Chain A
């Protein structure tokens, strides 16, 4: 209840255009936004860019926030939407890269980024984490989102259902399928790399 009241006070100040309230909002949510975005995009520079975009969007549309969900849920939702938009754009670009390269006189090639290692992963887990991120990358979008929000952000299934605007049972199903697919990919990888 206290948290909801604090949310409302912050929202009221933001609607009034308080710079101090905006600064508080950025400081409160920057880690959550940045880490969620980085979990989905697997790039520090893109996560930084999306983080800035998210706060600009929040500032510009705070008056449209109806208060039906928690402020954090709304901000997570914007973060996930923006990150997925960029992911789709990157996939489209990658898909058309061979065709585009035919018309590109520079002969410029698209460079595949090296295996992503999240800066928050412990040193002894970096190799395994890189493999896991590689497997997550092959999951469908909704499974990636649910898995990332749960594993990296540590959010409950209930919170994830609010962010993804779906039911609790759907999130449970998404998580079950995500884990099952990841196990399949990793087992295959294990036998192929022996």
Chain B
């Protein structure tokens, strides 16, 4: 203790200066510390989960990469095309077929669009 005091006196240092110097030097021999083990595995898992969120669920990805997607789109196109062609056919019924259509409408009473109109009639 006396030796410390003598050293301080020799340096012309006050107690406060000595305290500050000791605190300032407290990190001089600091050692590198290590993160918890298996950091790489944790980073990899986190990266994979981030990537999955960004890309979307795996079943969705698989679906869009499969032949099912192509088949579904083809089917939808076919249905749409069918509907368009069918409505086109109705508009262009030949004159000869109109009489047959009228008989069919009479027979099945298709001119009534609601029950009320049928009762009123």
Contacts and interface: CB of A to CB of B under 8 A. Distances in A.
Interface of A is mostly: helix
Q: How would you classify the secondary structure of chain B's contact residues: helix, strand, loop or mixed? A: helix
A179 B43 CA distance: 36
Contacts of A30: 34-35, 39
B103 to A, nearest CB: 72
A31 B16 contact: no
Contact of B19 (A23, A32, A47, A186): A186
Contacts of A34: 33-35
A128 B40 CA distance: 34
B31 to A, nearest CB: 4
B50 A56 contact: yes
A26 B24 contact: no
Contacts of B30: 118, 120-122, 129, 151-152
A35 interface: yes
A41 to B, nearest CB: 13
B34 A56 contact: no
Contacts of B36: 48
B24 A132 contact: yes
B110 interface: no
A122 B26 CA distance: 9
A128 B39 contact: no
A186 B24 contact: yes
Most chain A CB atoms below 10 A, which of B15, B47, B50: B47
Given A120-B30, A120-B31, A128-B23, A187 B39 contact: no
Interface residues of A, number: 37
Nearest to A31: B32
Residue among B16, B34, B35 with most chain A CB within 10 A: B35
Contacts of A182: 24
Interface of A: 22-23, 26-27, 30-32, 34-35, 38, 47-48, 51-52, 55-56, 59, 118-122, 125, 128-129, 131-132, 135, 151-152, 179, 182-183, 186-187, 190-191
Interface of B: 15-16, 19-20, 22-24, 26-27, 29-36, 39-40, 42-44, 46-47, 50
